[in-house]
Structure 1
Amino acid sequence: MSIAQDLNTVLETAGQSLARLDVLAEHIPVEWIEAAATLAEQASIRRRRLPSDLVLWLVVGMAFFRGEPIAEVARRLNICSKGLANEVLLANSALSKARQRLGKEPASWLFQQCANVWGYERYPKDHWHELQVFAVDGALFRTQETPQLRDHFGAGNTSSERQTPYPVLRLVALMNVRSHVLANAAISPYRRGEIPLAAEFVEAIPAHSVTLLDKGFFSADLLLNIQNGAANRHWLIPERKGLVSTELLRYGDGDRLLQMRVSPQARKKNPTLPEHWQVRAVTYEIQGKEKTVFTSLPSEQFSAEQVATLYHERWEIELGFRDIKSSMQDNALTLRSKTVDLVYQELWGLLLGYNVVRREASQAAVAHQRAPCEISFKFACQFIASHLVVMAAVLSPSHTPRRLKELRGSIGTLFIKKCPRPSRPRAVKMSKTRYPVDRNAAPLK
């Protein structure tokens, strides 16, 4: 008997039936939840009022209700003792201890399991000349200000050599550009760079694909690993200024084959790297300025204009990060957790919740014969969050498939018209506070 059936049996003894675990089972099979729950750091033989499988649902639910206390999230999703025979609400401390027992591994494993399936799915017309399009980029998240979090995650430095006001952790993600689903991700303290994090999952990029990267990922080791790791696997990245190169061949105006020397430092780290490597350089003009991108896409199959146009899609991963921080986190200054493991757990749950919305939107788009990226993420997220509350109410499990079908049909009304992105020059963001934190400063008296 499944966990959902066990729980419904308990609830039926009180004259009620709950379809909560069926709500997202359309995407997250119960078997995956059970497997993730076995990874809990503190296993328990006895059946607690908040077992690991229910706490996992709570962690995912936290991603949809950032402005609500965790106890309210549990109440909204009916992840509590209310409705059982004793009708006793769980204390806030019980929710915190349950999350601590769960640890970070189950949420991380569940995200990776879902991402490995959802992130590489193909949708009609989601390819670019028979190639799947992916993007790699990084984002930073602030945490609460505690000595433990600052010691673990670290922070950047300001111009006055003082540390930034809040501890910072780094996320590097691989996104399916056309569906906006995250196919992989790595999280670490701030001090670890983006390139080592990206190197953890580039092997998972499938064959017959092209990966778009920001210029901060320029590395012969990383790019050659993408290029040589699988058949017909390519990359595209902006030119790095100041590189010394030799022109070997000119394909046409603004289209050249260059040869560059691999740095001794890179070859020392990876002795298998060649002394020289070749890249295709495509130069084009946009708004009166010349831009150059490097790529491994062959000139025989892809024109310079096609390459230049494709790179503009790299912005889609920036939009994905905006959706996470703005639409799901409500532009919150920091994550809500206050211990190291719970910070990791919260962020993995946030990424999983984001993927749930994106996959549901993608499925709705296919049903309406539209592109997945044409659905407004903000409204889809709000719509799904409101339906989670409704579905977590007292409903018969037999009603769940019908409600999911209605939900998907309703999401189809949230399509947006794609417009050209307005030109906004990059600018340094304002600090959240004008008083950076100095760890060595004397305490106030």
Structure 2
Amino acid sequence: MTLRVQILKDKFNSSLGLPFKELLPASVIEQALSELKVRYYKRLFDPVVTLWAFLSQVLDTDKSCHNAVSKIIAQLAGEGVELPSTDTSAYCQARVKLPEKLLEQLFGKAAQSLEDKLTIEYLWRGRNVKVIDGSTVSMPDTVENQKAYPQTSSQKPGCGFPIAKIGVIFSLVTGAAVALCIDVMNTHDIKLARQLYQFLNPLDILLGDRAFCTYADIVALLKLNCDAVFRKHQARTTSMRKGKIIGACDKLVTWYKPKKCPTGLSKDEFDALPPTITVREIYYYIVIPGFRTERVSLITTLLEKVTYSTLDIVGLYGQRWDVELDLRHLKTTLGMDVLRCKTPSMVRKEIYIYLLAYNLLRGLMWSAGTTYGTPPLRLSLQGTRHHLNNFIPELLAAHSTKRLQIYCTLLKVIAHKAVPARPARNEPRVRKRRPKAYPLMTKPRHELRKQLQTA
């Protein structure tokens, strides 16, 4: 058993481990296991082998456990050792035993390792910009999942799927996810955001849409020595007469503490808020055909117009759309939109492993872009995943002396073709492919089966 485990570890380190060596070396995994005092038997699917198999599973287009076990068998086939069973139960049980805290720590360490690579030339006006947003993911309709993450109340029991709400902070420079929180579907974005502020560093700038533009949250960011650039909440009216004008469509305004304690704040937190704050309001118009928004009002704590010009801030907020693309990469490109695990604990582990895999791909794109002089954010994440999966067999088959050469070729291929810049691109929101003409499910499956039997 020990020989088989060592063979698998060596193979994973030379295939997935080599491209990701800068963000997730084997030593980091071993250190995390040691810190969490994880004890395990010397079996084929020990935590390290299970983790690498789990990562390769979410990076593949076929995400079944059977496919993951088949890869393990294939890697041992030519080594003259006893082959494991094709049954997936051992692998599934090993995934269950993986501590959720382990995956959370590895995700955080991979994100921090990528953040540490940033130098001053990559920052915006010398500041690190983070982007925040929320989204949802669905999961199998099991009793445990429904209890932890209930479906929307508008759907009948048995006709919908459990849904979890996630809040994510992404780095604007690298595109990597730096913080994550998971809650039930009807959780407001503000509640998720308040759990994520702890992951911000002093002097960070947080970029977000109008859901995050509240008095209390701007104060919270200022206390962390961070700044904010948010779109103005629709509940606040815009007055052209109030405020100190500092430029065209640019003014300083005074906000007053709310008269009533907002939902989500305790009385002590509300009492601790200052009576007033000064923010900067910038408003402008969008005249691009196809854009739904015509007028935008921004609220920011970046008050120095000389350091942060009006056009700079408007251009910065224009990059907020990148967070939508990052979430699309996670949910559509990697396939996190519909999870496969059947218990809440495994669902959370699956989300963390997806974000870890996403960050590892972003790290590979960063290495390729900085090595060959291509902006990393202009590289294709889907293309990076394709190239990585196609290069893994070559990395496995090569000797140690040739492996580094193949890895350098992988970076060159990833950086070869950048995604073209398409500012102000818009497409009509229509579908050309017609869905199948099946009616929607309005009753639980067991009731529909009875109807078929009695028909």
Tell me if both proteins adopt one fold, taking TM over 0.5 as the criterion. Answer: yes
Q: Secondary structure of 1:174's partner?
A: strand
Residue 279 of structure 1: aligned partner? 279
Residue 308 of structure 1: aligned partner? 314
1:256 pairs, out of 230, 241, 251, with: 251
1:186 aligns with 2:186: no
Shift of 1:148: 1.0
**1:352 corresponds to which letter in structure 2?**
L
Distance 1:243 1:205 in 2: 27
Deviates more, 1:237-246 or 1:56-65: 237-246
Residue 7 of structure 1: aligned partner? 6
**1:337 corresponds to which letter in structure 2?**
C
Q: Cα 1:333–1:132, aligned 2, differ >3 Å: closer, same or farther?
A: closer
Distance 1:199 1:56 in 2: 30
Distance 1:241 1:287 in 2: 20
Deviations 1:197-218 (A, max 9, x none): 2222323323333221121122
Q: Cα 1:42–1:367, aligned 2, differ >3 Å: closer, same or farther?
A: closer
Shift of 1:99: 0.7
1:122 aligns with 2:126: no
Distance 2:159 2:329 in 1: 24
**2:230 corresponds to which letter in structure 1?**
I
Q: Secondary structure of 2:284's partner?
A: strand
**1:336 corresponds to which letter in structure 2?**
R
Aligned length: 431
1:88 pairs, out of 84, 104, 122, with: 84
Normalising to structure 1: TM-score of the pair? 0.85
Shift of 1:444: 6.6
1:353 aligns with 2:352: no
Distance 1:234 1:39 in 2: 34
* Alignment RMSD (CA, Å): 3.5
Residue 384 of structure 1: aligned partner? 388
Q: Secondary structure of 1:63's partner?
A: helix
Deviates more, 1:133-142 or 1:70-79: 70-79
Shift of 1:315: 0.6
Distance 1:444 1:39 in 2: 51
Q: Cα 1:190–1:434, aligned 2, differ >3 Å: closer, same or farther?
A: farther
Distance 2:361 2:300 in 1: 32
Residue 138 of structure 1: aligned partner? 134
Q: Secondary structure of 1:301's partner?
A: coil
1:173 aligns with 2:185: no
Distance 1:75 1:414 in 2: 33
Distance 1:66 1:234 in 2: 40
Deviates more, 1:378-387 or 1:33-42: 33-42
Shift of 1:399: 3.8
Unaligned runs of at least 5 residues, structure 2? 289-293, 451-455
Distance 2:138 2:435 in 1: 12
Deviations 1:85-108 (A, max 9, x none): 112345211111111111422212
Residue 212 of structure 2: aligned partner? 217
Distance 1:213 1:25 in 2: 32
| Alpha carbons 2:378, 2:420 under 8 Å: kept | yes
Distance 1:120 1:431 in 2: 46
Q: Cα 1:304–1:10, aligned 2, differ >3 Å: closer, same or farther?
A: closer
Shift of 1:402: 2.7
1:29 aligns with 2:25: yes
1:48 pairs, out of 43, 47, 55, with: 43
Deviations 1:234-275 (A, max 9, x none): 111111123267833111231122222333314625132112
1:237 pairs, out of 227, 230, 243, with: 230
Shift of 1:224: 1.9
**Higher relative contact order, chain-length normalized (CA < 8 Å, sep 6+):** 1
Q: Cα 1:435–1:103, aligned 2, differ >3 Å: closer, same or farther?
A: farther
| Alpha carbons 1:61, 1:73 under 8 Å: kept | yes
1:147 aligns with 2:143: yes
